[in-house]
Amino acid sequence: MDGRDASVPGGVTIYEVARRAGVSIATVSRALRGTGPVAADTREKVLRAVEELRFTPSRAGVSLAEGRHAANGIVFPNLSGPYFAEVLIGYEEVTSELGRSVVILSTKGREPVRDLVRELAGRVDGLAVFGSTVPGDVVGELVASSLPLVLISHAPRPGAVTLRSENSEAARALAIHLRGHGHRRFVFLGAPYATGDDVDERWQGVRAVLGDAVEPVATAEYTVESGYQAALALLGGAGRPEAVICSDDEVALGVILAAERLGLSVPHDVAVTGWDDIMAARHARPGLTTVRQPMRELGAQAARALDRLIDGAGLERSHRTLGTELVVRDSCGPHPPGGQ
């Protein structure tokens, strides 16, 4: 028993197993994969040799011969907040269940994104890409290529399978709820970066209801820190809005922190809402009113769609929208006890 591994460099090969078992490599392959007939005692010999040599087929050899990598990739901007991590959890779980490995790529602050994506594309059978993580032309290149592709949180796009959570209706419902609290002057904090992305849909939905009563204000990023900084300016000066509708929960948590810092009460002095329903939204004080988005399910469905695409099970529905749910807690305004 020598402790060599079957990794590419200097690993045990199928030839050594074959020699040790006194058979040909074809027989070893058949015995291991269960393809084709193998006599019971022959199989025994082979399995023994495999065990003694600790043989694992070289993945590169298998990939080359099989014509597939048995791996899928996923591209996201970063993993700092809960959102992408949650989606990744769902994606990894399903992909792994389907017998494929998961290769990740974070694009945040990295330069030739095109090269990185190409490199990744070359080692997987399919790719899931978050909207807004990759320049449009690179997406175009991917779409043009024959590589199975799913775009997460992305608007419908011809030639690609897209997937996202519902934004517009939930945004309307949220705006209506806030107006019901009697708020009149709103700010949408975390203004959208790109037309058609998730945040843009939320903004459009909110504006459709509130019209000129809501003003968009940008943040540097969709993070707690950015929300905090933006809110210090927003809430500290004159003309403080009555309600701050945030692009997402992290920004909203930053606003709550800023309000506390400024000695303002949420929701009495200012109402705050988020989006996503990350875990901290429930734990925040006051509890954060938000829109729940099925983050893991988003990743899981992306993985399943990709699998179907790879297995070429016909053309599948090219766009899918997952349901969301308004979660009313205490940050949006006072509710009568026993009510909603």
- β partners of residue 152: 130, 163
Of 118, 121, 81, 85, the residue nearest 103 (C-alpha): 121
Is residue 208 close enough to count as binding a copy of itself by CB under 8 A? no
Cis peptide before 37 (omega within 30 of 0): no
Interface residues for a copy of itself in 31-50 (CB under 8 A)? none
Instruction: Among 32, 49, 105, 139, indicate the residue that binds DNA (CB under 7 A).
Output: 32
CA distance 65 to 54: 21
Is residue 179 close enough to count as binding a copy of itself by CB under 8 A? no
Residue 152, binding choice from DNA, a copy of itself, none, Cβ under 5 to 8 Å by partner class: none
Count of Cβ atoms closer than 10 Å to residue 54 Cβ: 14
Q: Which DSSP letter does residue 276 get?
A: B
Is residue 11 close enough to count as binding DNA by CB under 7 A? yes
SS3 121: helix
Is residue 145 close enough to count as binding DNA by CB under 7 A? no
- β partners of residue 216: 188
- For DNA, the closer of residues 39 and 233 by Cβ is 39
Interface residues for a copy of itself in 69-88 (CB under 8 A)? 69, 71, 78-80, 82, 85, 88
Helices 168-180 and 198-210 cross at an angle (nearest 10°) of: 40
* Surface-to-core class of residue 49, CB atoms within 10 Å of its CB (0-12 exposed, 13-18 middle, 19+ buried): buried
Q: Which stretch binds a copy of itself (CB under 8 A): 31-39, 191-199, 253-261, 268-276?
A: 253-261
Of 21, 47, 45, 23, the residue nearest 33 (C-alpha): 47
CA distance 214 to 206: 8
Is residue 92 close enough to count as binding a copy of itself by CB under 8 A? yes
Residue 27, binding choice from DNA, a copy of itself, none, Cβ under 5 to 8 Å by partner class: DNA
Is residue 101 close enough to count as binding DNA by CB under 7 A? no
* Size of site (CB under 7 A) for DNA: 36
SS3 289: strand
* Size of site (CB under 8 A) for a copy of itself: 62
Binding site for DNA (CB under 7 A): 6, 8, 10-15, 22-27, 29-30, 32-33, 35-39, 41-42, 55-58, 60-62, 64-67
Binding site for a copy of itself (CB under 8 A): 3-11, 54, 56-61, 63-64, 67-69, 71, 78-80, 82, 85, 88-89, 92-93, 96, 101-106, 110, 116, 118-125, 141, 144-147, 224, 253, 257, 260, 279-280, 283-285
